[in-house]
Amino acid sequence: MQEVRVVTPSKVNLALRVGSARPDGFHPLDTVFEALDVHDEVIVRRSDSLSLRMEGEGADALPEDSTNLAFRAARALRERFGAPGLGAEMTVRKAIPVAGGMAGGSADAAGALVALNALWGLGLSCADLMSLGSELGSDVPFCIMGGIAHGTGRGEILAPVYPGRGHAWVLLTNPVGLSTPAVFREFDRIAESAEGAGAVAREAAETERPGSVAAGVAGPGRAAEADVAENPASTRELREAVARGDLQATAALMANDLQAPAFSLRPDLEDVVERASRFGATAILSGSGPTVALLAFDPAHADRLGMRAAIEFPKLRAVRANGPAAGACVAEAK
Ligand SMILES: C[C@@](CO)(OP(=O)(O)O)[C@H](O)COP(=O)(O)OP(=O)(O)OC[C@H]1O[C@@H](n2ccc(N)nc2=O)[C@H](O)[C@@H]1O
Ligand SMILES: Nc1ncnc2c1ncn2[C@@H]1O[C@H](COP(=O)(O)OP(=O)(O)O)[C@@H](O)[C@H]1O
């Protein structure tokens, strides 16, 4: 085989529930991923050494050296399962927005693993590739798996959810990206200050000091509300709605615990979600943002949402997408 082309999907999180940081700094998740047909392509050709070229949407801003996730994936695959002399000329054609909360880098790493497994004739299973992928990034295994999946752990432990029906999205992509680690750090900061407020409120309630600031925070249920959940909230009901193909219930159960920290860093995103909700859209931040995803109930609804969004948000791009899409897979081999 001389050349392999792989198509690799982006994702949204239908729900993203986050617990408190683990000792390793990662956050336990209960999430429902959905793969979308806004995809990158990874093309690999036989060569004596490893090289990478980035093309397409946002490629100028991305490195072509060993810091690129696709390059790191190639090296990891060669070190773990290949021979030292194996090489490839890799090209990544980007369509997934960079730093958009749509797993662009993870998709490229997934695409590189699948493409090089074929080019180098390694014969690895999807499970092998997903396990190696989880060392590169929490979203990489899902980009290999595709479809809709329940993600736990830091997002790398996956169980498929078999959807009752497919559907469309309108994605509002943003010209200014948002850093995933920065959003998780803001999540921690908000959680810590809520925890602090809860502790002060409890102390004040115990010592009965009416009129203090803390007493103002306390009240029925308030202190408990301020406590930060160690474990993420469950997405069970949402998964059941997805499996039934009940889009109305799915829309009602969508939730993203990274929305508040993302809005805190980027108030413009809260404005987008609020305004979209006002014109009747079910709007949710995709992962850590800044892309905002509008769920469509049928193709005509997607058309209406797209037209309305184009008028309402002239600075954003409204991109039509369909889900669930397949995971990273070989589209062409020669
Ligand atoms: C938030 C999510 C939701 O699907 O997606 P994006 O918005 O980035 O697309 C993912 O959890 C992102 O996954 P991914 O982008 O692969 O993250 P990783 O490379 O594993 O981690 C990047 C950084 O994000 C934070 N991180 C990531 C995952 C997790 N469960 N807890 C974390 O705290 C850590 O600070 C980590 O250093
Ligand atoms: N192949 C790649 N494609 C996109 N981003 C990459 C890639 N390799 C490394 N990165 C880095 O990963 C960061 C996160 O980008 P991306 O994965 O697109 O977003 P997100 O984590 O929000 O889904 C970028 O800022 C970029 O510097």
Q: What is the pLDDT of residues 159-211, one digit of tens each?
A: 999 988 899 999 999 999 999 999 999 999 999 988 777 666 667 666 655 43
In the chain the domains, ranked by start, together with CATH numbers, are 3-161+325-333 (3.30.230.10), 189-226 (no CATH), 236-323 (3.30.70.890)
Q: Is residue 98 part of an annotated ligand binding site?
A: yes
* Model pLDDT, residue 166: 93
Active-site position among 30, 40, 108, 139: 139
248 pLDDT exceeds 50? yes
Instruction: Please report the atom of ligand 1 found closest to the CA of residue 33.
Output: 4
Report CA(106)–ligand 1 centroid distance (Å): 10
Please state, in angstroms and as integers, the Cα–Cα distance from residue 10 to each residue in 25, 85, 95, 246, 328, following that order: 25, 32, 9, 23, 10
* Model pLDDT, residue 104: 97
Give the pLDDT band (50/70/90) at residue 101: very high
Q: Is-contact 293 169, C-beta < 8 A?
A: yes
Report CA(223)–ligand 2 centroid distance (Å): 38
Query: Which residue, among 287, 251, 292, has the nearest Cα to 273 in the 3D structure?
Result: 292
Which of 14, 180, 266 is the pocket-test mutation for ligand 1 (most atoms within 8 Å of CB)?
180
What mean pLDDT comes out for the span 293-306? 96
Strand-pair partners of 12: 34
pTM, whole model, 2 decimals? 0.92
What mean pLDDT comes out for the span 120-136? 97
Q: Is-contact 86 123, C-beta < 8 A?
A: no
334 is catalytic: no
Query: Which residue, among 75, 293, 23, has the nearest Cα to 174 in the 3D structure?
Result: 293
299 pLDDT exceeds 80? yes
Q: Which ligand is nearest to the CA of 33?
A: 1
d(CA 27, CA 23): 9
Give the pLDDT band (50/70/90) at residue 82: confident
Q: What is the mean pLDDT of the chain?
A: 92
Q: Which ligand is nearest to the CA of 188?
A: 1
What mean pLDDT comes out for the span 267-275? 98
245 Ramachandran zone, left/alpha/beta (phi>0; psi -120 to 50): left
Place of tokens 């999907």: 9
Q: Which residues line ligand 2 (CB under 6 A)?
A: 62, 68-70, 92, 98-106, 108, 180, 287-288
128 pLDDT exceeds 50? yes
Query: Which residue, among 148, 152, 175, has the nearest Cα to 164 in the 3D structure?
Result: 148
What mean pLDDT comes out for the span 223-232? 61
Which protein residue has the closest C-alpha to ligand 1 atom 37? 181
315 is catalytic: no
